[in-house]
Structure 1
Amino acid sequence: MSGADQPTGVSEQLELRAAPVEGVPDIVSDPSGLSEAADAVRCGRGPIGLDAERASGYRYGQHAYLVQLRRKGSGTWLIDPVACPDLTVVDAAIGDGEWILHAATQDLVCLAEVGLRPRLLFDTELGGRLAGLPRVGLGAMVEHYLGFRLAKEHSAVDWSSRPLPEPWLRYAALDVEVLGDLRDAVAEDLERQGKLGWARQEFSHLLSFTGPEPRVDPWRRTSGVHKVRTRRGLAIVRELWQDRDALAQRRDVSPGRILPDAAIAELALEHQRDTRPPLAVASKEPRLARSIRRNEDLIVDAIRAAFALREDELPQLNLPHTGPPPPRSWADRDPIAAARLARSRELIGAVSEELAVPVENLLTPELLRRYLWEAPPAPTTEEVAQALRTAGAREWQVTITAPLIALASNENPVPHAG
């Protein structure tokens, strides 16, 4: 049973595994140790479980501060990528061997930074989604498939700390120790459900993942920016965000540790309608006052820079829209497209429930919207299929969803008057 299907208390009754069965290995932190690790991996057999620990919320960026590997016949290896920043010798030892990752998109980029790039991949989290599990965290999937609990209390610690405490290393070694058995159990479940081929297409697609698409004006993602109603206020947000980001990068700390988003939003709201920049800044919020006081010079300079901008240099309140409009406006702008979208969602939703595969894994909502907004009046199934392939859908997704979208597009819906 999955965690969501278990009676109350069943999860707590499972064995708690708090340490790896084979113990905690020493950390590899020099060239000779790295060469030994590579030799061991090369002599092992079967897939290779990998994991990486980052310092999210502590350091700037998403770099790896510990890399864990395990392969049958090779044992578990913990590698310090700060001391050994080039792991290409390990990558060569792995060669074409299959990687096992859990939530691959979280680790692929930071592993590539140290020279590790998969040629073949199995993502246990994604496999769990396709298998219909309601909870796909590593702990939940280990409970479901392997029948014991993992100690997870060190998942959000500062992995850039040195030396790394032994309890943290226990946690890191344990995470990678379970991946081989978990991979086999997920593969068996997917095979039983007739979904293993789908999963392999998804895993192959992940091999080209290089990170999320860069955002236009990333400062617009500042929490609370939606409350700012003037272009001058947005300029304050932009200048503060950019100055904070530059300082965070220089200091190698998380930007939020210098100045929280809430402080940036508060300062913009406070001064967005001023006619001249303030000489000093403060906050009545105790949780923000300290960071504002500590960075007052940076803040005042950034706000002054925002006020020095000409009107035509101020950011627009909204970015120019690209792609289809928000679905809530479709009924007014194109009732036929709105009806097709609603019907496509209905049909795909029904198949999602039948197959026990999340809707977003059958076809991303964004891809569906983009196609339907620009779709021809009465597309054939093959025309829909070709458009989905061109947009990046995998063949299994195309096979399932193209006939449904074509059906929805050819039902000639007549929008209600008014």
Structure 2
Amino acid sequence: MTDAAEGPTLPDAKPAEPVRVVDDPEGYADAVRRIAAGTGPIAVDAERASGFRYSQRAYLIQLFRRGSGTVLLDPIAFDDLSELADAMRDAEWVLHAASQDLPCLREVGLEPERIFDTELGARLLGFERVGLGAVVERLLGLHLAKEHSAADWSTRPLPTPWLVYAALDVELLLDVRDAEEELLAAAGKAEIAEQEFEAVRTKEARPAPAEPWRRLSGLHTVRGARNLAVARALWQARDAYAREIDSAPGRLVPDASLVAASKTPPASKRELAAMRSFSGRASRSEIDRWWSAVEAGLASADLPATRVPSEALPPPRAWADRNPEADRRLKAARPAVAAIAETMSLPAENLLPPEALRRTAWEPPESFDARSIGDALAAHGARPWQIVATAQAIGEAFVAAAQEVPDPAGSPS
């Protein structure tokens, strides 16, 4: 199937019914009744205020079910959505890029028992563009405007054009799902898709880092434990204030400003205020807060380590020096995996998680037979279908790499 024409030449998608937000008990009771009375899968979407608010909570939840119509729900207006959760429990949920929305839906008590992810389905079908707008154009021949995707959804009241955008995100999703299901079955990928959807649904959240301040962008340029202590104190002060006023931390003072003040700590509050590199909406209005953090960092007796242990593998470019055998295994296996991905019309990263391949190459099993390689891949998160598709080829690539003889300069001959 070829891509449809560019969006402006296609008819615009329009909502099936007038849009309004459910934000009162009567509207909520009616929404629950309608969702329960509908049939088949439920299209689900959520809008957050990423980049505007500290939290990643849902500020709008959109639902569409055949026989139910569209529901645009303001979750901020309700303390308990358990009745809605009960009405949705037995249905398949259809989401686009489910991993983005499931955390904030779970936060309000909405948990699916099975899902269909239309973005992931598009990847498995080999679509080059997998955004919802592009998929709708390709499969439904409609132009879906996406200009409000980065809006501040904590705004109240929500503008009508935003609500139209939000409604269309779910009203077209079931038709997309049905078209993808047919294509996946025709391509022999229905079982693959089921495994991938379930992996997304059941994926555990990453544990919070022990020292989240080390995620400061540019922190690697800060030298010395004392300066790192200043960076830590500034990050902690900004995080506490951002949480208090529910604002995205970077909107108050950007990472670059915290790093600049840490690399060369100012000697006084006046000097901090005079730093041109220390900017942001709250950089001057909260100058006492930031200066107290600088002082705390400079006076801290609990200096952070300049280097921290990590379970992360070194970047592949360093493997030739640090683990030449692993380097040869990885370089032999990557083309083999890429060839299988091309044959199956899949992106290589969807055929096999790159981290699973890297870790198996870095520390392989004693035997390179398909079973042993498969067990190693499974231990690093590969799904059964991925193991069936790749284990044999990876094992053969590892055997070939082991037979290579490095030349005196360190490169395989």
User: Is 1:324–1:370's contact at 8 Å kept on the other side of the alignment?
Assistant: yes
Cα displacement (A) at 1:328: 2.0
* Equivalent in the alignment of 1:372: 361
User: Is 1:65–1:160's contact at 8 Å kept on the other side of the alignment?
Assistant: yes
Q: Cα deviation per residue 1:101-134 (whole Å; 9 max; x = unaligned)?
A: 0000110010011111000100000111111111
Q: Cα deviation per residue 1:70-102 (whole Å; 9 max; x = unaligned)?
A: 000000011110112322211111222100000
What is the correspondence of 1:172-321 to structure 2 with a 5 Å cutoff? Answer: 172-271=166-265, 280-283=271-274, 285=276, 288=279, 291-310=282-301, 313-321=302-310
- Tell me the secondary structure at the aligned position of residue 17 of structure 2: coil
Amino acid across the alignment from 2:380:
A
Counterpart pick for 1:399 among 388, 394, 402: 388
What is the correspondence of 1:14-93 to structure 2 with a 5 Å cutoff? Answer: 14-17=10-13, 19-24=14-19, 26-93=20-87
Instruction: Work out the CA distance in 1 between the residues paired with 2:139 and 2:127.
Output: 11
Instruction: Identify the range of structure 1 (65-74 vs 80-89) with the bigger mean alpha-carbon deviation.
Output: 80-89
Amino acid across the alignment from 1:361:
N
User: Is 2:364–2:376's contact at 8 Å kept on the other side of the alignment?
Assistant: no
Question: Residues 359 and 215 (structure 1 numbering): CA distance in 2 closer, same or farther, change over 3 Å?
Answer: farther
* Equivalent in the alignment of 2:7: 11
Q: Cα deviation per residue 1:240-290 (whole Å; 9 max; x = unaligned)?
A: 11111111111111111221112111111222xx7x666641355488266
User: Is 1:62–1:110's contact at 8 Å kept on the other side of the alignment?
Assistant: yes
User: Is 2:92–2:114's contact at 8 Å kept on the other side of the alignment?
Assistant: yes
Counterpart pick for 2:123 among 126, 129, 133: 129
* Equivalent in the alignment of 1:331: 320
Identity of aligned residues (%): 47
User: Is 2:48–2:58's contact at 8 Å kept on the other side of the alignment?
Assistant: yes
* Equivalent in the alignment of 2:149: 155
Instruction: Identify the range of structure 1 (365-374 vs 48-57) with the bigger mean alpha-carbon deviation.
Output: 365-374
TM-score (norm 2): 0.93
Cα displacement (A) at 1:341: 0.8
Amino acid across the alignment from 1:194:
G
Instruction: Work out the CA distance in 1 between the residues paired with 2:287 and 2:154.
Output: 28
Instruction: Work out the CA distance in 2 between the residues paired with 1:298 and 1:182.
Output: 50
User: Is 2:49–2:154's contact at 8 Å kept on the other side of the alignment?
Assistant: yes
Q: What do you get for the CA RMSD once the two structures are aligned?
A: 2.0
Unaligned runs of at least 5 residues, structure 1: none
Cα displacement (A) at 1:325: 2.7
- Tell me the secondary structure at the aligned position of residue 69 of structure 1: strand
User: Is 2:85–2:111's contact at 8 Å kept on the other side of the alignment?
Assistant: yes
Instruction: Work out the CA distance in 1 between the residues paired with 2:208 and 2:397.
Output: 33
User: Is 2:272–2:278's contact at 8 Å kept on the other side of the alignment?
Assistant: no
User: Is 1:239–1:306's contact at 8 Å kept on the other side of the alignment?
Assistant: yes
Instruction: Work out the CA distance in 2 between the residues paired with 1:222 and 1:172.
Output: 33
Instruction: Work out the CA distance in 1 between the residues paired with 2:204 and 2:155.
Output: 27
Unaligned runs of at least 5 residues, structure 2: none
Give runs of ≥4 in structure 1 deviating > 6 Å.
none
Amino acid across the alignment from 1:359:
A
User: Is 1:51–1:67's contact at 8 Å kept on the other side of the alignment?
Assistant: yes
Q: Cα deviation per residue 1:382-406 (whole Å; 9 max; x = unaligned)?
A: 0111222233211111111211221
Amino acid across the alignment from 1:329:
A
User: Is 2:254–2:280's contact at 8 Å kept on the other side of the alignment?
Assistant: no
Instruction: Identify the range of structure 1 (99-108 vs 222-231) with the bigger mean alpha-carbon deviation.
Output: 222-231
Instruction: Identify the range of structure 1 (59-68 vs 27-36) with the bigger mean alpha-carbon deviation.
Output: 27-36
Instruction: Work out the CA distance in 2 between the residues paired with 1:289 and 1:255.
Output: 10
Instruction: Work out the CA distance in 1 between the residues paired with 2:2 and 2:304.
Output: 49
User: Is 2:337–2:390's contact at 8 Å kept on the other side of the alignment?
Assistant: yes
